[in-house]
Amino acid sequence: MDSTAIARHPKGTDARILLSSVFGPFAHDDQFGSRRLNPMELYHNQVTRLQAGFSLRMFHRSFGLLMLQANVEAPCTVLDFPTLDSFTREIRQSPYDIVGIGAIGPNVEKVGTMCAIIRRERPEATIVVGGHVAAREDLHQIIDADHIVRGDGIAWLRKFLGQDETQPVRHPAVLSGFGARIMGINLPKRKGHTAAILIPSVGCPVGCNFCSTSALFGGKGNFVNFFETGDQFFSVMCQIEEKLGVNSFFVLDENFLLHRQRALRLLELMQAAEKSWALYVFSSARVIASYTIEQLLGLGIGWVWMGLEGENSRYRKLNGINTHDLVETLQSNGIRVLGSTIIGLEEHTPDNIGAAIDYAVSHDTVFHQFMLYTPNPGTPLHQQHRQAGTLLPESAMPPADSHGQYRFNYRHPHIRDGMEEQFLLEAFRRDFACNGPSLYRLIRTMLAGWRAHGRHPEGRIRKRYEWDAAPLRSAYAGAVWAMKKWYRGNERMQKKLGQLLEEIYDTFGWKTRLIAPLFGRYALACLSREEKRLKRGWTYEPVGILEKNAAAVALERAEGRMKPFRDFWAGAFGTGRQGCLRPDFLVCEDRSRPDAMRW
């Protein structure tokens, strides 16, 4: 059934809900569609893929499911990264009335398997499927679901439960990532050291022809704003700051700065309240170039994910922008840039792809994402290839392999016989070889920011650069010391690292000069162990997480089904898994709600 047909569930807000991501493990090849090339890690999958022990390893929650849970009054449980066994056990042991599954296209086989389990164990339950997998027009023919939801899932689920779908959107207080490690070192989990997630809108009005997010929410010119004004945005940020103790926010919005009036109002409020926040954003080059550096510093923009689709790109978001100058300006002010480049555009050929890669690498961004030009279902690019008859049948290119890091799912006009895989790998190799580890580039950019603005006349900006630069005095100085040792034999990289290390010493003095070798020796030993571990085939998997809202906790207590936490932990996932309860959420109009309870 399509998302346009909504009849209220008979139990309304008394319905017991489970929202689940697809099951793991993820970073290996199996019959359910897991692929070693497609781990549940954004950076190691698409950004630092060939940086080995220097690759940034971390996981991100299923934020869409958490947004849904935050906006229903019904008892609602979120199950993130389950195993197949733990998902089956949860379905079998709890009498859910509604089971929702969120997934991307490559995981369609897992969605089908989960639907079959629900039908077998809970035949009376209503099955709802959403996320990017819902963009498939034929999805209802290949999975057994009652509802396939495209577009705004919050409004849909509220209406399905009989709630007022026009109520303000509540935002959950959630950290943007977990399980971070680099150079074989698990990064500390200290309060305030990880950015909170912030989702002001979904969709993107720019509407690039390959963009799945834009297509899922109506395509070019369409988007759904959850927070229309800078005042609403500021209120939610204050609540998240108070609850999580954070001072940085990962703004999960395709083009946050495009909404200029809202952004500049947020700037006014941050200045008035003297907030030293950092914002990590997505932006097109054209939009971010429309702001002055002082405006960006005032907003706390510390990290930008920016499309660098290619030289002479036909995409309007790059029109008239010298991206080399823009990246240099941003990074010289301490703003890290993650450049994103597409391999396999229509004009790419085996003869010119090398030049396209060189152009991308020459930006020397802190991070660089490389992805294949992929027509995903629902996008204008997919429709174009379908009409041209150039899409490959799924027997030749299964959905599980169509994730942008392997092969084309269509016949490219110039690149044939799987050559795109080697071109993609060459892009990652060349970026790493020419520009060095992203960690080195990150530290270099942080130092540039401190040197440029460590004595900024505005106190709140100065304070942000102070806490941002703090690791440079010890841990990051030690990391550079270790990298310099690691690159013995590579004269060019040793020189770069040596220069950076001396700049750090000159900036922070004798204490840093003493501390760096101590931490550096430890980091070098960890890196060596990590490299050996990776060569043996080690892969990284997220822990499973089970979260219940207040209504779900109250219901289980009333039924006498609430387990002691030790039993819940072991019974739900086994050793090493994580469980937590989240009985409250955030709404921009209400600052009186009690703190979240976590077990």
CB 572 within 8 A of CB 546: yes
Instruction: State the pLDDT confidence band at 140, using cuts at 50, 70 and 90.
Output: very high
Q: Is the pLDDT of residue 593 over 50?
A: no
DSSP string, 315-332: -GGGTT--HHHHHHHHHH
pLDDT score, position 318 = 61
Average confidence (pLDDT) over 168-174: 96
Q: Is the pLDDT of residue 469 over 80?
A: yes
Q: What is the pLDDT of residues 17-27, one digit of tens each?
A: 999 999 999 99
pLDDT score, position 59 = 97
CB 370 within 8 A of CB 336: no
Average confidence (pLDDT) over 289-304: 97
For CATH 3.80.30.20, the residue range(s) in the chain are: 178-436
Q: Is the pLDDT of residue 592 over 50?
A: no
Average confidence (pLDDT) over 40-57: 97
CB 254 within 8 A of CB 204: yes
Q: Is the pLDDT of residue 564 over 60?
A: no
Q: Is the pLDDT of residue 311 over 80?
A: no
Instruction: State the pLDDT confidence band at 216, using cuts at 50, 70 and 90.
Output: confident
Neighbour tally for 346: CB within 10 Å: 12
CB 523 within 8 A of CB 496: no
pLDDT score, position 109 = 97
Instruction: State the pLDDT confidence band at 450, using cuts at 50, 70 and 90.
Output: very high
Least confident of 101-115, 269-283, 303-317, 518-532: 303-317
Instruction: State the pLDDT confidence band at 221, using cuts at 50, 70 and 90.
Output: confident
Average confidence (pLDDT) over 399-410: 95
Query: Which whole-number Å values give the CA distances from 328 to 303, 363, 365, 418, 507, in the listed order?
Result: 13, 8, 9, 35, 21
pLDDT score, position 315 = 57
Q: Is the pLDDT of residue 579 over 50?
A: no
**Euclidean distance between CA atoms 156 and 147, whole angstroms:** 10
Average confidence (pLDDT) over 66-84: 97
pLDDT score, position 5 = 61
pLDDT score, position 205 = 81
- Side chain identity, residue 400: A
Q: Is the pLDDT of residue 595 over 60?
A: no
Instruction: State the pLDDT confidence band at 575, using cuts at 50, 70 and 90.
Output: very low
Instruction: State the pLDDT confidence band at 219, using cuts at 50, 70 and 90.
Output: confident
**Euclidean distance between CA atoms 452 and 329, whole angstroms:** 11
pLDDT score, position 239 = 96
**Euclidean distance between CA atoms 545 and 194, whole angstroms:** 18
Alpha-helix residue ranges (DSSP H) falling in 454-509 = 459-469, 475-486, 491-508
Q: Does domain 178-436 have CATH number 3.80.30.20?
A: yes
Instruction: State the pLDDT confidence band at 60, using cuts at 50, 70 and 90.
Output: very high
Average confidence (pLDDT) over 122-128: 98
pLDDT score, position 578 = 42
Q: Is the pLDDT of residue 39 over 50?
A: yes
pLDDT score, position 372 = 96
Average confidence (pLDDT) over 52-57: 98
List 100's β-bridge partners, or say none.
Answer: 19, 128
Average confidence (pLDDT) over 191-214: 89
pLDDT score, position 567 = 37
pLDDT score, position 317 = 53
Average confidence (pLDDT) over 437-450: 98
Q: Is the pLDDT higher at 567 or at 444?
A: 444
pLDDT score, position 570 = 35
Average confidence (pLDDT) over 478-486: 98
Q: Is the pLDDT of residue 580 over 60?
A: no
Average confidence (pLDDT) over 434-446: 98
**Euclidean distance between CA atoms 201 and 321, whole angstroms:** 26
Q: Is the pLDDT of residue 304 over 90?
A: yes
